[in-house]
């Protein structure tokens, strides 16, 4: 989007797909606005250049129209961050939306209702994509968190709307997750953990619910000597020392996956130690990249998120990218960035 000049944008209706899938509490209050804040630079750039922004996102995984998954609670925060009154549509396609688009001033923002209220979104139905596309003159995808989904608003729409370009957030995520990882300043370290543990969290939680966790038995043993009937739920002091020593001389580190079941304080020691080590390295100029929902939650829990070089807004998307998969929402764009981590390594 940075390549589009003021004259490309002034008066143009721009369909912006963002990932505003933020957590809400029972009273519909936003409990973490990271994704909203991350979407702001692209929207600001567009409105400052006189574009009319038609903003689209999903929220949660609704089955049909579900009020608790409405995007309405996001309007005040978006308006505050943008410094304008964001208008909210009750739908994402149809005559009412068209009317609102027609009355949108240059520099205005219209937030469409949850695009997943239509099953056609996830099915990537061309007719639905065409209806979304018909609202605008050009398309900007800034929804990195949803770029691994081939949905109507992330992939299908690009077939009907040209140009289709990447927003600043999507570009930044790719720069870090593909660029920095494929041509890292070396030594380069990847810390990968968590996946098997996280898939067992439900089991572990239900097991621990049956006990009082702070009193459940734990002991530190070599990884090769975990007794029968016991589970390895964190790394111990020797492993922490090994990680710290290995990381000491690195220039780039990517971390994906916690070291243990950090949701429980008792098993958060290894994860916290790595988070602190990365924070220390980051403050010394090492490039530190955190990807994947659990690792991001871990650095936030430890309070060191601010010092990291890059915190990805994509959980599943960053994992798929690091696995070497192509992201449908990215390769559908005009300036198709068809590189993946794998084919660059
Ligand atoms: C996420 O939270 O990872 C993205 O918003 C994608 O959501 P999804 O997994 O429901 O497609």
Q: What is the pLDDT tens value at each position of the chain, 345 positions in all?
A: 777 777 789 999 999 999 999 999 999 999 889 999 999 999 999 999 999 999 999 999 999 999 999 999 999 999 999 999 999 999 999 999 999 999 999 999 999 999 999 999 999 999 999 999 999 999 999 999 999 999 999 999 999 998 899 999 999 999 888 877 777 888 888 887 765 455 445 555 655 554 485 557 889 999 899 998 888 899 999 999 999 999 999 999 999 888 988 888 889 999 999 999 999 999 999 999 998 778 888 898 899 999 999 999 998 888 788 777 889 999 999 864 444 444 433
CA 146 to ligand 1 center in whole angstroms: 6
What burial class does residue 258 get, using C-beta atoms within 10 Å of its C-beta: 0-12 exposed, 13-18 middle, 19+ buried? buried
- Check 35, 88, 116, 149 and give the catalytic one: 35
- Check 63, 196, 215, 284 and give the catalytic one: 196
DSSP state of 143: -
If you compute the radius of gyration of the chain from its CA atoms, what whole number of angstroms results?
A: 22
State yes or no: is 196 an active-site residue.
yes
Omega cis (within 30) before 309: no
State yes or no: is 10 an active-site residue.
no
Handedness of CA 134, 136, 141, 143 (dihedral sign): negative
Ligand 1 atom nearest the C-alpha of 315 is 3
Ligand 1 atom nearest the C-alpha of 149 is 11
- pTM (2 d.p.): 0.84
Q: Which residue has the tokens 């991350």?
A: 38
91: left (phi over 0), alpha (psi -120 to 50) or beta: beta
CA 62 to ligand 1 center in whole angstroms: 12
Strand, coil or helix: 334: coil
Contacts of 183 (CB under 8 A, 6+ apart): 344
Dihedral (Cα; 195, 199, 200, 206), 10-degree rounding: 140
Ligand 1 atom nearest the C-alpha of 60 is 10
| 237 vs 220: CA distance, rounded Å | 9
> What domains lie within the chain, and their CATH numbers?
6-166 (3.40.50.1260), 176-322 (3.40.50.1260)
CA 318 to ligand 1 center in whole angstroms: 11
């Amino acid at each position: 989007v940075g390549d589009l000049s003021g004259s490309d944008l002034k008066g143009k209706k721009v369909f912006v797909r963002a990932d505003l899938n933020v957590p809400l509490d029972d009273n519909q209050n936003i409990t973490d606005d990271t994704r909203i804040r991350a979407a702001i630079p692209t929207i600001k750039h567009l409105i400052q250049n006189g574009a009319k922004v038609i903003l689209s996102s999903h929220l949660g995984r609704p089955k049909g129209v579900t009020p608790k998954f409405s995007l309405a609670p996001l309007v005040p925060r978006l308006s505050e961050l943008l410094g304008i009154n964001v208008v909210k549509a009750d739908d994402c396609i149809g005559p009412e939306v068209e009317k609102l688009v027609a009355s949108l001033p240059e520099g205005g923002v219209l937030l469409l209702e949850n695009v997943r209220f239509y099953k056609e979104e996830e099915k990537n139905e061309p007719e639905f994509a065409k209806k979304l596309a018909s609202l605008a003159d050009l398309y900007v995808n800034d929804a990195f968190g949803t770029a691994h989904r081939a949905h109507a608003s992330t992939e299908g729409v690009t077939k009907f709307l040209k140009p289709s370009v990447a927003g600043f957030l999507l570009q930044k995520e790719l720069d870090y997750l593909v660029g920095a990882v494929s041509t890292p300043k070396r030594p380069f370290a990847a810390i990968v953990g968590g996946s098997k543990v996280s898939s067992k969290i439900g089991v572990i939680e239900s097991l621990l619910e049956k006990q009082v966790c702070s009193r459940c038995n734990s002991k530190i043993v070599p990884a090769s000597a975990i007794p029968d009937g016991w589970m390895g739920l964190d790394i111990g002091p020797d492993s922490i020392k090994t990680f710290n020593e290995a990381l000491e001389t690195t220039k780039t580190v990517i971390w994906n996956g916690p070291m243990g079941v950090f949701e429980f304080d008792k098993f958060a020691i290894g994860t916290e130690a790595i988070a602190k080590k990365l924070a220390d390295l980051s403050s010394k100029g090492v490039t530190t990249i955190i990807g994947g929902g659990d690792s991001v939650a871990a650095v936030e829990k430890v309070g060191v998120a601010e010092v990291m070089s890059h915190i990805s807004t994509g959980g599943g998307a960053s994992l798929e990218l690091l696995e070497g998969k192509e992201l449908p929402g990215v390769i559908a764009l005009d300036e198709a960035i068809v590189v993946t981590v794998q084919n660059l390594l």
